[in-house]
Amino acid sequence: MKAVGVIVEHNPFHNGHFYHLQQSKKQTGANVIIAVMSGYFLQRGEPALVSKWARAEMALRGGADIVIELPYAFSTQKAEIFAHGAVSILNNLFVDELCFGSEDGDIDSFKHTIKFLDEHTILYNEKIRTFIKQGHSYPKAVSLAFHTLNPNPDVLDLSQPNNILGFHYLKAIKEQKSSMKAAAIKRIHAGYHDKESTHESIASATSIRKRLLEDQSLHSIYQYVPESTYHILNSYFKEYKQFQHWEHYFSYLKYKLLTGTNEEFKEIYEVEEGIENRMIEIVKASHTFYDFMEKLKTKRYTWTRLQRICTHILTNAKKEDMQFALETKKAPYLRLLGMSQNGQQYLNKIKKEIDLPLISTVAKLKNPLLSLDQKASHTYTLGLPSPLQTKQLYTEYSTPPIRLDTPH
């Protein structure tokens, strides 16, 4: 059986993701799709719209065969560490090819870009440091440094979010000395950050979340998601009466900022340069998370970086907790969230050759990164309506992997 891997957040799963899975199978000739999916908190430092279990079911009903959770220590990181963690999981599951969506869609452009930057590494890094000293954020410094090297037309536009991730996927495959190949699929009809949809059936996850959170109605997104996603979202909303977003956690963040000590903040991952002092002063006069972020963001600190810092403060993720991910850049376990019949057959075939623990419940393993996942789960629960919090607190321990017994 040939396996193709995808790295996803599915927040939520929509028609563009369905197209991605279809094309991944078609372009690679794979029999099995393995999805590595972020858990409760995502790469941009946001809580997921719905639980990881609901999103895993969306992925399975949309065509994935196996869904593995990307640990918190990787899912809430900048692109390089995020990519390394996800690629290491796919590598341990003997995936033949990684297939990702990008603005470019031409895998040769990614290869040309890696070659180009390898040839200009010293100058490139010098320019990045120069732009950071000038007060630019790291992503902006990288973009400026890249363009000052006058790349040729065959090289990627590294200002685009999916191109950036794809570039780091290929770098991770190369650095991990993996035999995994890579393929790129061009995004269609909607850009990653598009807040409005112009196509009749394809919209970005950003615009879908905007509609759901502003309208609190699923009717406005019906045409942009598979029917299975629509029903899962509908069931979730009926039970919880909301979709999760940062405002549900702002009071907890405010409490943490106003009661923490300097010593405690110094231990939190990504809290540097006294940013906590600025956060404390601003949060005192902020009534909403959006208001807080608008006042907090600067030329040096992007919205995404600040959201990730807020997430780490909220979950009490310490520098020492994240050290393993930074040093090894590889996941130490495989947390199975769900599988189809086809996926179960594949796992049965390879399970004796897998080097990492393949776990179905957290009680089966003790690991610092798994403890972080549990803290993230508990923190996510705090944003739910209070009558449902106790029930949800136990799902991390009691929920078995989803089994999809019907064909896609």
9 carries a ligand binding annotation: yes
Q: Is 338 annotated as a binding residue?
A: no
Is 16 annotated in some ligand binding site?
A: yes
Domain encompassing residue 114: 108-159
- 68 and 17 fall within a common domain: yes
Confidence bin at 199 (pLDDT 50/70/90): low
Q: Which of 255, 257, 372 is nearest to 309 (CA)?
A: 257
**Count: domains in the chain:** 3
Task: Say whether 101 counts as a known binding-site residue.
Answer: yes
pLDDT in tens, 207-260: 999 999 987 779 889 999 999 999 999 999 999 999 999 999 999 999 999 999
92 falls within a domain: yes
- Kindly state whether residues 81 and 113 are assigned to the same domain: no
Supply the CATH number for residue 94's domain: 3.40.50.620
Q: Is the pLDDT of residue 197 over 70?
A: no
Q: What is the mean pLDDT of residues 387-401?
A: 83
Q: Which of 290, 323, 356 is a domain's end point?
A: 323
Residue 202: pLDDT band with limits 50, 70, 90: confident
Cis peptide before 12 (omega within 30 of 0): yes
Residue type, 62: G
Last residue of one domain, picked from the residues 323, 349, 380:
323
301 marked ligand binding residue: no
Which of 323, 353, 382 is the C-terminal boundary of a domain?
Answer: 323
- Sign for the pseudo-dihedral over CA of 299, 301, 302, 303: negative
pLDDT at 142: 84
Within-domain flag for 386: yes
User: Does residue 185 share a domain with residue 81?
Assistant: yes
Q: How many residues does the chain have?
A: 408
Q: Is 139 annotated as a binding residue?
A: no
pTM, two decimal places: 0.92
Same domain, 186 and 335: yes
Q: Is residue 216 part of a domain?
A: no
Cα separation, 162 vs 103, whole angstroms: 6
19 annotated ligand binder: yes
Same domain (yes/no): 56, 91: yes
Mean pLDDT calculated for residue range 66-83: 96
Residue 236 lies in a domain: no
Kindly give, in sequence order, each residue whose CB lies less than 8 Å from that of residue 98, ignoring residues fewer than 6 positions away. 4, 5, 6, 7, 87, 90, 169, 173, 180, 181, 182, 183
Asked if 334 contacts 401 with a C-beta cutoff of 8 angstroms, the reply is no
Residues 285 and 144 in one domain: no
Does 187 belong to an annotated binding site? yes
Is 13 labelled as part of a ligand binding site?
yes
Q: Is 7 within any annotated ligand binding site?
A: yes
